[in-house]
Amino acid sequence: MPLNKPQLQANIYQAFQKMQDTPVPENADEAQLKAHFTQLLVTLAQDLASTIDAYVRTGDITNIQSSANVSLTGNSQTITINTTQTNLGKLQ
């Protein structure tokens, strides 16, 4: 599946919107406000990290190639095996 940039953008917007919609405590002193805004930033960072992680993991990794070359020699004979495999994968 190709990466979904519009969904990433929507999720990032939602993370910022959530931060913006969080009410500021009334009658809070400076220390309480600082703690409040620190928590908002921590939550925003977590939301963005989760969004980016999900975005990256939805993409397909194409053209994964693995190859093996094996040569066996014995009894005056040599057997050579060459193989290449191309796969599709996902990030884990």
* pLDDT at site 43: 96
Task: Count the neighbouring beta carbons within 10 Å of the beta carbon of residue 58.
Answer: 15
**HSE-CB of 43 using CA atoms within 13 angstroms:** 15
The DSSP code for 59 is S
Helix (H, G, I), strand (E, B) or coil at 44: helix
Element (H, E) at 63: strand 60-74
Rg of the chain (C-alpha set): 26
The mean pLDDT value of the chain amounts to 85
Q: Which tokens belong to 25?
A: 């405590």
* pLDDT at site 73: 80
* pLDDT at site 58: 84
More confident residue, 29 or 65: 29
Q: pTM above the 0.75 mark? A: no
